[in-house]
Structure 1
Amino acid sequence: MTDTQEQQAATAETAPADPRPGRVALWILAAAAVLSLAGVVYSLYRLTGMADGLDDTGVMILANSLFSPIIVTVFAGAVAAVAAARAFQGPQKALAVLGSLVLGLVAGGAAYFSFSADADIALAVALVLLGSAVVGGLFALPRRSVTVVAGLAATLLLLAFMFGRGFYEAASSVSLFSDPLDEYGALGTALPFVAGIACGVCAFLYLRQKKAGVKLLGHLLAGALPGAVWLAATVIAQVGVEVVLGIGLDAVAPLDEAFLALSFQWQYNGSMTAMFAGALCAVLAYGLLLPKPAKAQSKAAKKS
């Protein structure tokens, strides 16, 4: 063995292991995923469930309400993937996919039995949630799980922002805007940017608290993950809505089509805004707030 090989072997032996997410963070994310998923599925059933099956109005309400369970299922699928890879020994990527698949089967089964009076619609909703969970599991495939957990913590904050906006719209009877479309556009522009900044700060603070040694790319991925989850959920929701409407309705009214188009336009714009703001904020925080590496400081000292 040459000197170079001996040095590489010694470095590999003394190098610290990659930091792993703490159990407390995983328990919090798991509890939030389970409670939020159960809540949105139950709320969807209370909103649209009918003992004799869905009429045309019920199908349209179901289609308009499908985004919330989808984005929560994507989030829960990612959490299940990280938790499975952390809890069991074996191939990490295979365990992650298996964890998201099991979560998807549970969510899909709950949705199917909730709408079993309409077998075709129930099957469509169940398959959409199953696919959402599997897609969520793909977000847990990066090698450094601590980066994924930082992004999921920020995603949980994004879901809280979405819940807060929905609660405000439902509870507030006084508007600061003269036109509902002006209010819709203003909230649609401001909220994703503010939420993205908050998500970027959340991801950065988690990585800093863990002292994970994550570089620039890791901060970029963690900050962008909430917006990426939002974007993936929007794509799945658009496909799911088309399937549900195709099964449940013979024709969609032009006003309903216009509302769905406006809604999805807001979702796409909001997701990309949140993704950009979160990634930018996390990267700027990494560059401005973290101390310089000791290696760089030693080189500067030698030059002086």
Structure 2
Amino acid sequence: MTETQEQQAATAATATAAPQPGRIALWVLAAAAVLSLAGVVYSLYRLTGMADGLDDTGVMILANSLFSPIIVTVFAGAVAGVAAGRLRKGPAPALALLGALVLGLAAGAAAYVSFSADADIALAVGLVMLGSALVGGLFAMPRRAVTVVAGLCATLLLLAFMFGRGFYEAASSVSLFSDPLDEYGALGTAIPFIAGIACGVCAFLYLRHKQAGVKLLGHLLAGALPGAVWLVATVVAQVGVEVVLGIGLDEVAPLDQAFLALSFQWQYNGSMTAMFAGALCAVLAYGFLLPKPAQSRAARSS
């Protein structure tokens, strides 16, 4: 009986000593989520720039630009879910959804106010933002919060890659490719793979710094999370674009349909490439760079 009690006490001590996400990481993620979410909503409003309502061109611009606020809202919803679990004690899944719900309501209200001149479109965009935040809250449900935070730090790096690429394309008119389709194929393959590797390294370094004792599966999930966020955001964006176009336009031009199809194809291919590269890189780093336990080395030597 005494040995059983001692084992239970040791197990409880190990559980309480399990590493938790640091406050600095949570503050950085929270600040990045709020600032980026406010920035993309404001940029989307300024991009359309029609205070009296959206014409057909404005609706198409809105549809083409909807992916950025959606992926940022998914990221922010996941951050809010993790933060809610640290602020209050209770069931992790319920707190994650509660935090994502609060953020989603705020984001949806901001989007609705921004496009209130068109009530139907404003409601559709607001509901899409709310749904994106709730989807992001699902990523915060795992009990091992340190693994989720590692993946979110890597997701923040992925968003920085996306912002950098968009800023470069907007600021530079010089291209290394003579054919736009060649540029599409090269960038659509290389950039997500490079970003995925960087995300996998970022997730691994965070887990190693925290000395979290996360096993192979945890490293795989943390490295794959940025690509998974990208993939889920693409699915939500495709649904949202169809809803916005169905409300705002009677008919979509064939050229616009082809552009949207090509854009979503790039998003799907890029997200799966980043997810694979991130997971593979994190797993390889776990296998090659982490020191082997002394007990296993002694067992092999004997």
Q: Would you say 1:225 and 2:217 are equivalent positions?
A: no
Aligned mates of 2:90, 2:230 — CA distance in 1? 30
State the one-letter code of the partner of 2:198: A
Cα deviation for residue 92 of structure 1 reads 2.2
Aligned mates of 1:150, 1:95 — CA distance in 2? 19
Aligned to 2:156: 156
Sequence identity (%) = 83
Aligned to 1:55: 55
List aligned pairs for 1:132-171, cutoff 5 A: 132-171=132-171
Aligned to 1:11: 10
| Partner SS, residue 292 of structure 1 | coil
What is the TM-score of this pair, normalised by structure 1? 0.97
Superimposed CA distance per residue, residues 260-294 of structure 1 (whole angstroms, 9 cap, x where no aligned partner): 00000000000000000000000000000001112
Aligned mates of 2:273, 2:236 — CA distance in 1? 18
Aligned mates of 2:221, 2:297 — CA distance in 1? 27
Contact 1:36/1:72, CA 8 A, preserved across alignment: yes
Aligned mates of 2:57, 2:286 — CA distance in 1? 49
Aligned to 2:128: 128
Aligned mates of 1:10, 1:157 — CA distance in 2? 40
Superimposed CA distance per residue, residues 89-116 of structure 1 (whole angstroms, 9 cap, x where no aligned partner): 2222211110000000000000000000
Aligned mates of 2:247, 2:138 — CA distance in 1? 29
Cα deviation for residue 84 of structure 1 reads 0.8
Aligned mates of 2:57, 2:216 — CA distance in 1? 49
Aligned to 1:29: 29
Superimposed CA distance per residue, residues 191-212 of structure 1 (whole angstroms, 9 cap, x where no aligned partner): 0000000000000000000000
Cα deviation for residue 7 of structure 1 reads 5.5
Aligned mates of 1:223, 1:292 — CA distance in 2? 21
Aligned to 1:208: 208
State the one-letter code of the partner of 2:23: R
Cα deviation for residue 14 of structure 1 reads 4.1
Aligned mates of 1:263, 1:35 — CA distance in 2? 26
| Partner SS, residue 90 of structure 1 | coil
Q: Would you say 1:195 and 2:195 are equivalent positions?
A: yes
| Partner SS, residue 20 of structure 2 | coil
List aligned pairs for 1:70-149, cutoff 5 A: 70-149=70-149
Aligned mates of 1:135, 1:95 — CA distance in 2? 14
**Number of residues of Structure 1 aligned to a counterpart in Structure 2:** 301
| Partner SS, residue 251 of structure 1 | coil
Superimposed CA distance per residue, residues 220-267 of structure 1 (whole angstroms, 9 cap, x where no aligned partner): 000000000000000000000000000000000000000000000000
Aligned mates of 2:65, 2:169 — CA distance in 1? 15
Cα deviation for residue 2 of structure 1 reads 7.5
State the one-letter code of the partner of 2:225: L
Cα deviation for residue 219 of structure 1 reads 0.1
Aligned mates of 2:237, 2:13 — CA distance in 1? 48
Superimposed CA distance per residue, residues 84-141 of structure 1 (whole angstroms, 9 cap, x where no aligned partner): 1101122222111100000000000000000000000000000000000000000000
Aligned to 1:252: 252
Aligned mates of 2:235, 2:14 — CA distance in 1? 41
Aligned mates of 1:205, 1:257 — CA distance in 2? 42
Contact 1:49/1:115, CA 8 A, preserved across alignment: no
Cα deviation for residue 41 of structure 1 reads 0.1
State the one-letter code of the partner of 2:46: R
Deviates more, 1:8-17 or 1:130-139: 8-17
Contact 1:70/1:132, CA 8 A, preserved across alignment: yes
Unaligned runs of 5+ in 1: none
Aligned to 2:185: 185
Aligned mates of 2:12, 2:148 — CA distance in 1? 26
| Partner SS, residue 213 of structure 2 | coil
Cα deviation for residue 10 of structure 1 reads 4.3
C-alpha change, 1:68 and 1:91, in structure 2 (3 Å) is same
Aligned mates of 1:158, 1:147 — CA distance in 2? 17
